[in-house]
Amino acid sequence: MIRVLLADDQPLVRTGFRMILESEPDIEVVGEAGDGSDAVRQAGRLRPDVVVMDIQMPIQDGISATQKIAAAGYARVLILTTFHLDENVISALRNGASGFLLKDVDASRLLEAIRVVHGGDAIVDPAVTRRLLDRFAHRLPAAGRGADPGAAAGERLAGVTERETEVLTLVARGMSNAEIAAELVVTETTVKTHVHHLLTKLGVRDRVQLVVLAYDEGLAGRRPTS
C-alpha cells in the first residue's frame, strides 16, 4: 500500500485528488495539509511514502517544505506546478524533489507518477522540464559530484555508452521507462538497467538530476541514433 500525504491550500483540489487516489487498491491517503508548515509536521508524524506537494501555499511554500521533508528523510516528494514557474523550483531540484508534474495533469498520469516515485525513481513532466531548464539552465550547478565546471562539453559523458546516451536523451524528454522501452524496442528491465548504470557513472542522485545533466550537456534536443 502506497501511503500518500496531500499538501495543497485549496480544499476542493485536495478532495479531488483524494477521490482519484483512493479509487486505487494500492494507494491510501493518510493525511491532508493546507500549508507547507503543516505538510512538514504531518510528514514527520505520519511518515507517508509520497507527499503530493503544491508550490504556492500560505505560511510556508511547497519548495521550502520539500527541502525540509527531503532533508529529514520523511518521504519522497512529488511537486505539482503550473507553467508559471518560480525560480525557487531550482531549490527543489537541488534538495530532494523526486518529480514535477503540471497541476492540471490527468488522473492516469498522476497515479503513474506516484507509483514511480514510490518505487524509488523520479519523474518529470516534459513540458515542465523544457520550460524550467530553458529558463534556468545557465544557473544550474554541475550535476556530477565533483565535476569540473570548466570541463569540456561532453567530458562528463566520456564513460557513457552509445545506448546509454540514447536512454539519457529520452529521459531528458520526460519519458518513462516503459515509453523509452517502446521507443528503443527493448524491455523495460533493460531500460532500468541502463538508467541504473547512468546514475552510477554520472554520480547523480536520481532521474531528476539526470535530466539536469542531459540539458547541461545539450542532449535534450538530440534524436536517438537508432
The pLDDT value given to residue 222? 52
The pLDDT value given to residue 31? 96
The pLDDT value given to residue 64? 87
Q: How many residues does the chain have?
A: 226
CATH 3.40.50.2300 fits 2-136, yes or no: yes
Residues of the chain with pLDDT below 50 are 139-153, 226
The pLDDT value given to residue 187? 93
> Which cell goes with 114?
506516484
**CA 122 from centre of chain:** 4
Closest C-alpha among 10, 97, 96, 15 to residue 56? 10
Which residue is it, cell 521533508?
Answer: 69
Task: Output DSSP code: residue 210.
Answer: H
Residues of the chain with CATH 3.40.50.2300: 2-136
Amino acid at 101: L
Q: Residue 215 and residue 147: Cα distance in Å, rounded?
A: 15
Q: Quick check: 213 and 156 in contact, CB under 8 A? A: yes
Question: Where does 149-216 sit in CATH, by number?
Answer: 1.10.10.10
Q: Residue 122 and residue 198: Cα distance in Å, rounded?
A: 14
Residues of the chain with CATH 1.10.10.10: 149-216
pTM for the whole structure: 0.68
Closest C-alpha among 61, 105, 122 to residue 87? 61
Q: Quick check: 220 and 172 in contact, CB under 8 A? A: yes
Three-state DSSP at 144 gives coil
The pLDDT value given to residue 41? 96
Q: Which helix (H) or strand (E) holds 172?
A: helix 162-172
Kindly report, residue by residue over 25-43, the tens digit of the pLDDT: 999 999 999 999 999 999 9
Neighbouring C-alpha atoms within 13 Å toward the C-beta of 62: 29
